[in-house]
Every structure is written in C-alpha cells, then in structure tokens.
Amino acid sequence: MNPTPPASPFFREEHDMLRAQLRRFVDEEVKPVAAKWEETGSVPREVLRRMGELGFLGIRYPEKFGGAAMDTLGSVVLAEEMARSTFGGFAITVLVHTDMASPHLMNAGTPEQLDRYMPDIVAGRKIAAVAVTEPGAGSDVKGIRTTARKDGGDYVINGSKIFITNGVLGDVYFVAAKTDPNARGSAGISIFIVDKGTPGFTVGRALDKMGWRSSDTAELVLQDVRVPAWNLLGEEHRGFYAVMKNFQNERVVLGAQAVAEAETALDLTLAYVMDRQAFGAPLWEKQTIRQRLAMLASKVAAARQLVHHTAWRDGRGEECVREVSMVKALCGELVNEVLYTCQQFHGGMGYMRESAIERMARDARVQSVGGGATEVMLEEVAKRLGR
C-alpha cells in the first residue's frame, strides 16, 4: 500500500501542507522516543508544548487565538498523521485535547472564557480534558449522576468521573453535571469549566489499561467543588446537546484515526510477508495471504472514502448524524479486523512487545468502544435508515 493517500477531491493545498508538516514531526520527534512514553504512561508536556509552537493544536480555531481556522478535514489530517506514528496512546492524547475537549469551550464559551483559556490551550500551555463518562454513564450520557447545585453566586459540584483521558496531566476540565435533579432523561445537564487545583477536585487514581499505554487515563473525584457561576459553559440545563454536538466531531476524528491505523498496519504487514521466508518462499507467495490482505486493503480504502466524504460534509455544515455514526461503527470494527489478521500474519513476532503490530493490536481494541460503542452507533444508523 502507498503510505501517502491518493489525490482526493476533498483536500486542498493547505491540507497537504499540514500533512507534510505533521508527518515530518512524527517521524523526527515522536517515533524515535515514543516507546518511553508507553513505559511512563503519558506523553511529556514539553512534546505537547512543542506541538503548540508548531501550530498543530489549534488547527480548527480562529487565528486570534493562534489557530489556523481550518475545517473538519484539517482534524482528519491531524488524526491520520498522529495514528501513523503507531502509538495510539500518543494519538489520543493529542486528539482529546484538540478535538474532543477544547471544542466544548470553543463552541459555547463566552468571549471572556475564550480569551482566558484558548490561547494557552492552542499553545499547549494548558492541557484540556472532558469529563463526561461515569461508572453508570458512558455511551448513555443521560445516565449522568454527578450534580451541580446552585449556591448563591456559585455552583457546588459533587460526583465522580471515570476513564478520563488526560485526567492526570490535564489543566482544565469540562465537566458534565446534573443541574436540575428533577429533570428526566437528557434534560437538566450542564457543562462547567473546572481548573486543576480547585479545592475538592482530585484525581482519584490513574487507571491501568490494556492499550493506549502512553495516554494517561484517570478517575476523577469532585467533592463539594465550588466554582463561580462564571464557569458555567453555555446554557444551563443544555449540556446534553453540547455533548451530542461534539460527539459528531469526535466520532469523525476517531474514524480517521482508526482507518489510518489500519492502513499503517497493512503497510507493515505487507513489508513483513514479502520478506519473511516460510516453506522455501516469502509468505507473500501464499495465495490466501495475498488475497486476505487485498480484501482488507479494499475495505480500508472504502472506509477512508466514507471518512473523508463525511468530514467534507460536516465541514460544510450539513446534517450527517447517520453517516458519522456509520463512520464510527465501521471504522472501529474494521481496525480490529485488520489488526487481528496483521498480527496473525506476523506469527510469533506479532506477539512480542518489541513489535509495533503487537502494540497496535492492543490499541485497536478500544476503537469499537470509546466515543460510542459499535452497538450504540448502529442503533443511531438504524433509526435513520430510509430517511
């Protein structure tokens, strides 16, 4: 396979320039050292600050904050090039900051909130995290039990969050809490800005994961966390809709990450089977291996087109919930299918920790869960079939 995507009607010169810059950064400043990040369980802050200096953390944001004011396809390019590092934990650390957490602020922040936080977020001086998921509320955001009670000019937040990416090293958190305890379903949820160091806000524990090892993931505890009403992000009781809105961007980005990981795994496997000798000939000479790789390459190429077309439509402001849900469901499952086969064709080497394929296979598993489980996504698609 060609590691450089073929010419596309969706991408412009600015996207191609960004891709070249990102690829050079990953090759020179990530791949040589990222194995150490897997051992320590996080990406060093100086790496994120370096990405901020290079303009990689504000691709979608206005120039007044240091951004590049690009469209959804800019986020796709970022996700693809981060994923091609073969370190999924590094990729998700960056993408949560740029495309899953900070968009909450950009979409709903007041001018004062934007001026206070966005320059530091775009520069990588402050790392962002979004705290929605709870033990009983993952894909089902309606199940949130964390509460925020109005007390004079403040809100007092109580509850806990789990599986929060950038939870340990984050500086600013966008926390979902129930502000109307009597509201049913999705009603009565609000989003708050909570800074690290706010009294009562603590990291309960860093979580030990199967994959995405270089991404820090945490349980958060909020015990009588008092924040001023100024920290309310967007309209009170309308937080559910903010979460759903940003899920669209998040799922396109995760789909792009998954497809790029699948492409990279196929590239690595193609090189391996052409070199690996078995029964007097390269593995590539075995018809079943050639054909399985050819079929997977075909599926990945089709998925890539779906991602790119959906991102293009999203960038134009079109309603495409069905297609975004298709992207998340299809790509999350496909990357697991690809990595299973690639690991199989690497034989014993694919089971060794020194192999990129072993790491990528572990990292891929969460792609059908995080950001909306496949089953939930398929229900979203099913509800819209025939429309």
Candidates 176, 147, 360, 131; CA nearest to 264 is 360
Helix/strand/coil (H/E/C) assignment for every residue in the chain: CCCCCCCCCCCCHHHHHHHHHHHHHHHHHHCCCHHHHHHHCCCCHHHHHHHHHCCCCCCCCCHHHCCCCCCHHHHHHHHHHHHCCCCHHHHHHHHHHHHHHHHHHHHHCCHHHHHHHHHHHHHCCCCEEEECCECCECCCHHHCCCEEEEECCEEEEEEEEEEEECCCCCCEEEEEEECCCCCCCCCCEEEEEEECCCCCEEEEEECCCCCCCCCCEEEEEEEEEEEEHHHEECCCCEHHHHHHHHHHHHHHHHHHHHHHHHHHHHHHHHHHHHHCEECCEEHHHCHHHHHHHHHHHHHHHHHHHHHHHHHHHHHCCCCCHHHHHHHHHHHHHHHHHHHHHHHHHCHHHHHCCCCHHHHHHHHHHHHHCCCCCHHHHHHHHHHHCCC
Length of the chain (residues): 387
List Cα–Cα distances, 207 to 87, 215, 219, in angstroms: 18, 10, 7
Catalytic status, residue 250: yes
Handedness of CA 240, 241, 246, 248 (dihedral sign): positive
Distance CA 259, CA 309 (A): 14
Catalytic residue, from 250, 261, 263, 323: name it: 250
Tell me which residues are annotated as active site.
250
